[in-house]
Structure 1
Amino acid sequence: MLAFIGLVTIVLVVGFLLLGRMSPIVALTLVPLGGALVAGFGPEALTEFFNDGLSRVMQVATMFVFAITFFGVLQDTGLFRPLINGLIRMTRGHVVAVTAGTAIVGALAHLDGAGATTFLLTVPALLPLYERLSMSRYLMLMMLALGAGIANMLPWAGPLGRAAAVTGIDLTALWHPLIPIQLIGMALLVMLAIGLGLREQRRIAAAGGAAASSASGGIGGVEATEDERVLERPRLLAVNGALFLAVVAALVTGLLPPALIFMIGLSLVLLINYPDVESQMLRIRAHAPAALLMGAIILSAGTFLGIMDGTGMLRAMAASMVAVLPEAAIGSLHIIVGTLGMPLELVLSTDAFYFGMLPIVLEVTQPAGVPAEQVVHAMVIGNIIGTFASPFSPALWLALGLARADIGTHIRYSFVWMWGFSLVVLGVAWALGLF
């Protein structure tokens, strides 16, 4: 009975998230609460479940609030704009270089972990260049999506934070083994981009399109608006760059807890760039909605996980699944799910994947002796590459609007390449012993 209630709870949460009938906060709070009440648990037990769940995610929620605000303020200072514009100027007029540069630009623009910012920065700057070269806008979207997908493994980007909230594992401990995967993944992506760039060059030549040399001028990158120029601090570019590198270095070395690192980083970036109190508060207010939303989702996920775990629903569901799965598949379920990560991205939202599927896979595989870290790595790497090919990604819809592109064409153009690339990166992770 408990397994059935748990299954219904999971299906309802995932269903409401997929259909957009409830926000993640509402679905992750009310649905498991209803399931626990139906299962016969009272206020005293629910309080205990809530407290246990909250204790598991508090560090992650705190980190996200300060990390999103920190990177938002760095974005305000104009730190990333010269990097992106410099790459755009370097690759102008050469189809293969433009393709490779687009992938790198996608990763750089996603350093703040915000998909909307990534596409707002890159699509308006790159689209005129692609049009002048007669290049496919869908190639541009795929390269940006792949670059951003690799950068999305950063601890402040979202998916890894969700996985940390589910497992209770320290966020930086999950990220450290992924750093080589990100570096190798970027190298592989550049190789893929060169190959696709050559293919695009042949297509353009066969179609009698514009020659690469015709795009010799007129495109200098993405320009700041008047409001953005007021906030930018070009004279402090080196200082802000050093602060960014110092924060990343502190995260890599585990010098301090991630939440404290971002609290210090945010305090310093505000003090250095906007020394008066009113300006500091304006910057905090500007980024507070995104920061608080992510924090609230993580806290709601803590409630969901606390109830599902405390009631025993997850254990009951896992026991039922083990009873029907072939014995050989139990210890490899995380790898199977990781292999299918890209197709699953088309039918599951990020929240549904990490808060709905990951807990069940953990419950099935851990009794077979599979460490939680290995489960997370297999599922994250297999799934994350396809983040921006999913119709459940709001940032993708923004990118499609900016590029005047169709989602169906984008998925048809990108699906096989992105799935194949995710399998290659997954294979690299397996070869390096991550799972």
Structure 2
Amino acid sequence: MLSFLGFSMVAVFMYLIMSKRLTPLVALMLIPILFGLIGGYANDLGTMMFEGVKAIAPTAIMIFFAILYFGLMIDTGLFEPLIGKILKLVKGDPLKIVVGTAVLSMMVALDGDGTTTYMITVSSLLPLYKRLRMNPLILAGVAMSSMGVMNMTPWGGASAMAMTSLKLDSSELFLPLIPVVMGFGLLWVLVISFIFGKMERRRLGVIDIDAFREVASTAEMDAKIEFNYRRPKLVWFNLALTLILIVLLIMDVIPLMILFMVAFAIALLVNYPNIKEQQERISSHASNAVAVVSIVIAAGIFTGIMSGTKMIDAMATTLVSLIPEAMGQHLPVIVAFLSAPFTFFMSNNAFYFGVLPIIAQAAESYGISAAEIGRASILGQPVHVLSPLVAAAHLLIGMVGIEFSDLQRFLIKWALGTTTVMVIAALVLGVISL
């Protein structure tokens, strides 16, 4: 009964947000409450929701100030010199820009953190996409595709959790996957970006940058757009502050939320010492920050009820029991493909600490090692990053200014393609068995 309730809740939730009958914010809060009441947990719902929100609070605070910080850096004009150099390098070719987006996001994603990857990639390239009128879905889609592959590194969330729950080390789990992840996975992302770039080149053509600048400049004058908040004289200070912030993020010496709070305060004070100017800059980005953070906090209610009611545990047990006895020898391939929907509908924590140990235990009876199951379990990460339960995904759509459902529809088939390519490569290279 509990398992049925959990699957029903996930199905209703996804249907309502994908069909745009409810916003993610409303669905994340009201749907789990409704199903919690149906399940008879009325007396405990308050505690469950509080625990879920409490767990997500540091992430929500970090995202709030990260949006304010990078929004402020865009206002000051920090990325304008970079955009100018990129414009000269790509010569207005959308294809080169999209492929460059993939390369940049892959490099930044080496730290295994989606939040950092999205913030740096989008902050650097969104002004360029807007200037050339390129589809922002492509920027978000390419960044997310890169993160879906790079999240599989040993210091990324998925691999770390798989190693912890199965008591493995990186030599057992990740090293055999290097050709699959770093080779075929990233190569497929470059193929995706090439296809997207060709689409944009057909739509926009190769843009004459000089002519485009004249048109853009004239349009800005006609619209009486004033950029009096630019701070070209402080570009070196802002660059240094941002580089220090990124280094500290990677070193993980201070909690992320504290880093962004302090960095934002310093940047605001130095760039806009006038209190009125400070208020204007905060107000200009507040609506975006609140929209993203509210969804992240709402996700705490969803995960809190899912965990507190034990729906996740029941769902995991049911799914494992559905695997036919005759298919037991093929568990690695089954796990590889099932990890995509599993980690889409539930958090990585729930899957790797709740579901994976059960599957690994079942696999032992067929002579399949825990290491092989662990490797298979992280191949679904390209789909996982599209989940509405991933906080960094809400940061991404908030920064780019798109709808979550639009991004999911745009990218889901390509994400499934990434997982499929890596599973086939893993089979061919003998990383997992058929």
| 2:356 match | 365
- Are residues 1:21 and 2:17 paired? no
**Which one-letter code corresponds to 2:5 in the other structure?**
I
| 2:4 match | 4
Residue from 247, 262, 265 that aligns with 1:249: 247
Q: CA RMSD in A?
A: 5.3
Distance in 1 of aligned mates of 2:104 and 2:384: 21
| 1:131 match | none
| 1:267 match | 265
**Which one-letter code corresponds to 1:146 in the other structure?**
V
- Are residues 1:64 and 2:63 paired? yes
| 1:132 match | none
| 2:336 match | 335
Instruction: List gaps (5 residues or longer) in structure 2.
Output: 109-115, 166-173, 361-369, 389-395
Q: 96-105 or 5-14: which moved more? A: 96-105
Report Cα offsets for 1:175-219 as digits up to 9, x if no partner. Answer: xx9xx999989985897599879999xx99xxxxx9x8x958534
**Secondary structure in 2 matching 1:12:** helix
Report Cα offsets for 1:39-93 as digits up to 9, x if no partner. Answer: 11233x1122122212221111111111111111111111122212211112217
- Are residues 1:381 and 2:382 paired? yes
| 2:128 match | 122
Contact 2:98 / 2:139 at 8 angstroms: preserved in 1?
yes
Residue from 279, 282, 307 that aligns with 2:280: 282
Contact 2:149 / 2:181 at 8 angstroms: preserved in 1?
yes
Distance in 2 of aligned mates of 1:231 and 1:151: 33
Q: How does 1:116-155 map to 2 (within 5 A)?
A: 121-126=127-132, 145-147=141-143, 149-150=145-146
Kindly tell me: are residues 250 and 227 of structure 1, through their superposed partners in 2, closer, same or farther at Cα, counting changes over 3 Å? farther
Distance in 2 of aligned mates of 1:415 and 1:10: 18
Give the TM-score of the pair, scaled to structure 2: 0.65
Residue from 281, 285, 296 that aligns with 1:298: 296
**Which one-letter code corresponds to 2:88 in the other structure?**
R
| 1:218 match | 211
Contact 1:32 / 1:307 at 8 angstroms: preserved in 2?
yes
| 2:229 match | 231
Q: How does 1:170-185 map to 2 (within 5 A)?
A: none
**Which one-letter code corresponds to 2:295 in the other structure?**
I
Q: How does 1:74-89 map to 2 (within 5 A)?
A: 74-89=73-88
Kindly tell me: are residues 301 and 101 of structure 1, through their superposed partners in 2, closer, same or farther at Cα, counting changes over 3 Å? closer
Report Cα offsets for 1:217-262 as digits up to 9, x if no partner. Answer: 5345996856462111111111111111111111100110010011
**Which one-letter code corresponds to 2:8 in the other structure?**
V
**Which one-letter code corresponds to 1:322 in the other structure?**
V
| 2:91 match | 92
| 1:172 match | none
Give the CA deviation at 1:38.
Answer: 1.4
| 1:30 match | 30
Kindly tell me: are residues 188 and 126 of structure 1, through their superposed partners in 2, closer, same or farther at Cα, counting changes over 3 Å? farther
Give the CA deviation at 1:331.
Answer: 6.5
**Secondary structure in 1 matching 2:66:** helix
**Secondary structure in 1 matching 2:227:** helix
Q: 222-231 or 314-323: which moved more? A: 222-231
Kindly tell me: are residues 87 and 150 of structure 1, through their superposed partners in 2, closer, same or farther at Cα, counting changes over 3 Å? same
| 2:365 match | none
**Secondary structure in 2 matching 1:230:** coil
Contact 2:29 / 2:301 at 8 angstroms: preserved in 1?
yes
Contact 1:52 / 1:306 at 8 angstroms: preserved in 2?
yes
Distance in 1 of aligned mates of 2:3 and 2:426: 33
| 1:315 match | 313
Give the CA deviation at 1:363.
Answer: 3.4
**Secondary structure in 2 matching 1:231:** coil
Distance in 2 of aligned mates of 1:227 and 1:377: 48
Contact 1:122 / 1:222 at 8 angstroms: preserved in 2?
no
**Secondary structure in 2 matching 1:3:** helix
**Secondary structure in 1 matching 2:16:** helix
Distance in 2 of aligned mates of 1:252 and 1:396: 21
| 1:173 match | none
Distance in 2 of aligned mates of 1:320 and 1:59: 33
- Are residues 1:353 and 2:344 paired? yes
Distance in 2 of aligned mates of 1:240 and 1:397: 22
Give the CA deviation at 1:367.
Answer: 3.0
- Are residues 1:42 and 2:42 paired? yes
**Count of residues paired in the alignment:** 370
**Which one-letter code corresponds to 1:276 in the other structure?**
N
**Which one-letter code corresponds to 1:245 in the other structure?**
L
